[in-house]
């Protein structure tokens, strides 16, 4: 019998030392400035310093325009910080080539976006397998079994060969979660994953995040506007005008959520 | 990373790149179908025009050179010799050019044997040619008496193929005459013909056959006999006036002519020199064909490029997702290059088939027209060129896709 979670995920030399790392994400004095040398200069992130450890579930909250998505992009290596140091699994990101950043991203980070962002030309199963296929080529039977297992875990076994256009928004978001986890990343970044869902679907999706956070021991950072969901995360980081104004236990933050986000 | 591991990595990477490229094309079937049809029309035009022009050129060359040698070697023309003049002295001379009498090529057997050894020279045939009168009763016509070695001359003009009456024979008393001459003198096969080459050198010959080369001048003047008879009539015992050559590649005639002239010091003339206008026409035709091919190929390239440019914009968000999921810039680049190549390949396969059908239709229209032959190498090169063009056309949109900022691309709506 195949034990799907036992297939080997090779690590690049970049992460050769990372297996024992508890701190998955470390930001030190991160700044992000758009159009730095022009009159349209926009200083979005100011001296952000924080760290996220393995197994943490963190809510990243703040008003619109506070810099949440930009911070998430910098954390996810989709964007480059203007200043400061960023470490993924202990590896300093600054100075890496584009190819090395891509490699580090594919090995360490999983993404879930607000609009699920599945590729409609592929089936549900192929979408989940996509990060593995981009990295290894043709998937092995173990990898396929693992993707099927994840789809089973998110309750989509009977849709695995369907086109992504034929399933509901909540189901699409669950496919996106399975896709984010298929590489068994140390860090999952979710940008308002429930923003487009009804309350019931949002709860179901969030339940999955909580479950995988415990089962897979991956760190999860979720950007959300929903105070009900962010309060379910043990830790909350609140951004205001590109600055961290709170970083601590969610339960100690009731007054802040009273104000509009 | 070692070279071998890079190759293995590329092979793994290409597997998913192929799948993505194919799925992207299949995901928009109408767009893919339309551009494939456009490419196939372009490829069909290129195949048909090229085949048509090649057929036309081969036909013109065959008809023109089918009745003449590619290269003619003659004895050096006689000229006046002037005594040397002292330095710094100018001499004005009124020269009376020397009359060119028939003269033999010295040591022509050695020249012939030497040329026989060159693989590029297809046939070397000795010929003695000179003026004479042909007479039947009171009817008289000036003719060109052609003494040939029948076995070798078959490599220059296959007279048997042009026979309209009688048989091919140029023995001691047999001649072959052109159809116009036969008509002018009222001759038929088996009739007697008096040949008079002047100075009382006469012979009465039998008309063994009548040929029609399709060139009025030749059909009204050529009288073929064998070498010995002509040598006797033209008073050049053992001699010949021309060595005629056929070569494998007609367009290398000038190269061979110059080479043989340097080797033998004889007067050598290629068909390219003596048919300058024909050569110009052929070159113009080739240039026109090339221009048509280039313009059609350019329109195909721009067609593919524009479709892929639109596709890149349409798939901006998906490119961003792929980048976020760990695809490299090179992978995105190759996905779109593969799409370009696939479009070129599929379109050209269809186009080659359409071109083939067009050629068959043309060949079936009228058998009197020339026949177009389709070489497999031409079809293969059309497919290869179209596929390469597809890849080239995809370069700009592919580079654009690869350089998308994933953070921006993901937010694209």
Query: pLDDT tier at A258 (50, 70, 90 boundaries)?
Result: very low
CB B393 within 8 A of CB B307: no
Which one has a higher pLDDT value, B17 or B81?
B17
Task: Give the DSSP per-residue string, A49-102.
Answer: EEEEETT-EEEEEE-TTSSHHHHHHHHTTSS--SEEEEEETTEE-TT--HHHHH
Phi-psi region of B123 (alpha: psi -120 to 50; beta: other; left: phi over 0): beta
Q: What is the dotted CATH code of the domain comprising A22-258?
A: 3.40.50.300
Yes or no, beta carbons of A119 and B322 under 8 Å apart: yes
Yes or no, beta carbons of A183 and B15 under 8 Å apart: no
**Chain A residue nearest residue B326, CA to CA:** A106
Distant-in-sequence, close-in-space partners of A98: CB < 8 Å, separation ≥ 6: B328, B329
Compute φ and ψ for A61, nearest 5 degrees.
Answer: -120, 165
> Residues A14, A15, A21, A24: is their CA dihedral positive or negative?
positive
CB A179 within 8 A of CB B325: yes
**Chain A residue nearest residue B27, CA to CA:** A121
The pLDDT value given to residue B70: 92
State whether ipTM is beyond 0.95: no
Question: B30-46 pLDDT, tens per residue?
Answer: 988 988 898 898 889 88
The pLDDT value given to residue B20: 92
Dig out the tokens for A37 from the structure.
């040398």
**Average pLDDT value for residue range B144-157:** 92
Question: A194-204 pLDDT, tens per residue?
Answer: 877 788 878 88
**Chain B residue nearest residue A185, CA to CA:** B325
Separation of alpha carbons B299 and B315, rounded Å: 24
Please tell me what DSSP assigns to residue B324. Answer: H
Question: What are the chain A neighbours of B323 within 8 Å (beta carbons)?
Answer: 78, 102
Query: pLDDT tier at A260 (50, 70, 90 boundaries)?
Result: very low
B12 closest CB neighbour out of A111, A119, A137: A137
Cβ-based contacts under 8 A for chains A and B? 75
* Pairing mode of beta strands A91-92, B139-148: unpaired
Find the length of chain A: 261
Question: A148-175 pLDDT, tens per residue?
Answer: 988 988 888 889 898 888 888 888 888 9
pLDDT value at B412 more than 80: no
| Cα Dmax for chain A | 63
B27 closest CB neighbour out of A73, A105, A120: A120
Unique residue bearing structure tokens 């009900």:
A228
Domain boundaries, chain A: 22-258
pLDDT value at A2 more than 50: no
CA distance B118 to chain A (A): 57
Query: pLDDT tier at A75 (50, 70, 90 boundaries)?
Result: very high
Q: Which residues of A lie inside 8 Å of B (Cβ-Cβ)?
A: 73, 76, 78-79, 98-99, 102-103, 105-107, 111, 113, 117-122, 130-131, 133-138, 179, 183
Residues paired with residue B146 on neighbouring β-strands, in sequence order? B129, B224
Dig out the tokens for B332 from the structure.
């995105």
Separation of alpha carbons B296 and B231, rounded Å: 58
Separation of alpha carbons B212 and B179, rounded Å: 5
Which one has a higher pLDDT value, B334 or B119?
B334
Which of B324, B327, B402, B404 should one mutate to test binding to chain A, selecting the residue with the greatest count of A CBs within 10 A?
B324
The pLDDT value given to residue A261: 46
Taking Cα atoms as reference points, which of B216, B213, B127, B223 lies closest to residue B163?
B213
Distant-in-sequence, close-in-space partners of B51: CB < 8 Å, separation ≥ 6: B355, B359, B372, B373, B374, B378
pLDDT value at B148 more than 90: yes
Query: pLDDT tier at A19 (50, 70, 90 boundaries)?
Result: low
Highest mean pLDDT among B89-103, B205-219, B368-382: B205-219
Separation of alpha carbons A51 and B37, rounded Å: 56
pLDDT value at A6 more than 70: no
Q: Does B212 touch chain A (CB under 8 A)?
A: no
Unique residue bearing structure tokens 């594919």:
A106
Question: B231-275 pLDDT, tens per residue?
Answer: 999 999 999 999 999 998 888 899 999 999 998 888 999 998 888
CB A81 within 8 A of CB A31: yes
HSE at residue B195, side-chain half, CA atoms within 13 A, is 33
Q: Mean pLDDT of all residues in chain B? A: 87
């Amino acid at each position: 019998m195949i034990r799907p979670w036992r297939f080997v995920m090779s690590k690049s030399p970049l992460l050769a030392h990372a297996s024992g790392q508890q701190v998955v994400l470390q930001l030190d004095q991160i700044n992000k400035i758009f159009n730095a040398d022009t009159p349209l200069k926009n200083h979005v992130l100011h001296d952000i310093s924080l760290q996220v450890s393995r197994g943490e579930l963190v809510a990243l909250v703040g008003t619109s325009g506070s810099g949440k998505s930009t911070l998430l992009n910098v954390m996810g290596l989709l964007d480059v910080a203007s200043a400061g140091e960023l470490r993924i699994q202990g590896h300093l990101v600054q100075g890496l080539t584009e190819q090395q950043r891509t490699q580090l991203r594919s090995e360490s980070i999983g993404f879930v976006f607000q609009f699920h962002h599945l590729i409609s030309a592929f089936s549900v199963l192929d979408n989940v397998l996509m990060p593995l296929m981009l990295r290894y080529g043709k998937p092995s039977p173990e990898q396929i079994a693992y993707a099927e297992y994840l789809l089973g875990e998110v309750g989509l076994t009977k849709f695995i060969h369907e086109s992504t256009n034929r399933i509901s928004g909540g189901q699409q978001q669950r496919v996106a979660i399975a896709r984010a986890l298929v590489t068994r990343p140390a860090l999952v970044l979710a940008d308002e994953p429930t923003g487009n869902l009804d309350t019931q679907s949002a709860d179901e999706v969030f339940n999955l995040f909580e479950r995988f956070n415990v089962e897979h021991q991956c760190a999860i950072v979720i950007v959300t506007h929903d105070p009900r969901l962010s309060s379910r995360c043990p830790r909350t980081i609140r951004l205001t005008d590109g600055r961290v104004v709170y970083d601590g236990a969610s339960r100690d933050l009731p007054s802040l959520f009273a104000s509009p986000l | 990373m070692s070279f071998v591991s890079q190759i293995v990595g590329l092979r793994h990477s290409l597997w998913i790149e192929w799948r993505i490229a194919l799925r992207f094309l299949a995901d928009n079937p109408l767009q893919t179908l339309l551009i494939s049809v456009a490419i196939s029309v372009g490829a069909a035009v290129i195949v048909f025009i090229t085949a048509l022009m090649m057929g036309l050129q081969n036909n013109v060359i065959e008809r023109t050179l089918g009745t003449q040698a590619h290269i003619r070697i003659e004895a050096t023309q006689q000229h006046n010799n002037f005594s040397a003049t002292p330095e710094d002295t100018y001499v004005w001379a009124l020269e009376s050019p020397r009359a060119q009498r028939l003269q033999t090529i010295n040591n022509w057997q050695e020249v012939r044997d030497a040329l026989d050894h060159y693989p590029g020279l297809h046939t070397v045939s000795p010929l003695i040619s000179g003026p004479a009168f042909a007479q039947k009763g009171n009817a008289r016509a000036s003719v060109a008496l052609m003494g040939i070695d029948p076995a070798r001359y078959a490599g220059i003009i296959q007279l048997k193929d042009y026979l309209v009456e009688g048989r091919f024979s140029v023995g001691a008393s047999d001649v072959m005459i052109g159809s116009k001459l036969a008509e002018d003198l009222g001759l038929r096969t088996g009739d007697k013909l008096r040949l008079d080459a002047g100075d009382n050198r006469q012979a009465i010959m039998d008309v063994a056959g009548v040929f029609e080369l399709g060139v009025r001048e030749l059909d009204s003047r050529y009288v073929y006999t064998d070498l010995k008879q002509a040598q006797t009539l033209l008073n050049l015992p053992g001699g010949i006036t021309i060595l005629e050559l056929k070569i494998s590649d007609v367009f290398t005639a000038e190269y061979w002519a110059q080479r043989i002239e340097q080797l033998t010091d004889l007067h050598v003339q290629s068909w390219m020199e003596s048919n300058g206008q024909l050569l110009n026409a052929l070159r113009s035709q080739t240039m026109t064909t090339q221009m048509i091919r280039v313009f059609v190929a350019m329109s195909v390239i721009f067609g593919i490029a524009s479709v892929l440019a639109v596709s890149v914009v349409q798939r901006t968000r998906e490119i961003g997702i792929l980048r976020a999921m760990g695809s490299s810039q090179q992978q995105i680049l190759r996905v779109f290059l593969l799409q370009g190549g696939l479009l070129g390949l599929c379109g050209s396969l269809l186009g080659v088939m359409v071109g083939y059908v067009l050629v068959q239709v043309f060949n079936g229209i009228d058998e009197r027209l020339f026949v177009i032959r389709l070489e497999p190498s031409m079809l293969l090169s059309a497919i290869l060129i179209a596929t390469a063009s597809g890849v080239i056309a995809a370069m700009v949109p592919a580079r654009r896709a690869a350089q998308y900022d994933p953070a921006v691309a993901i937010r694209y709506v």
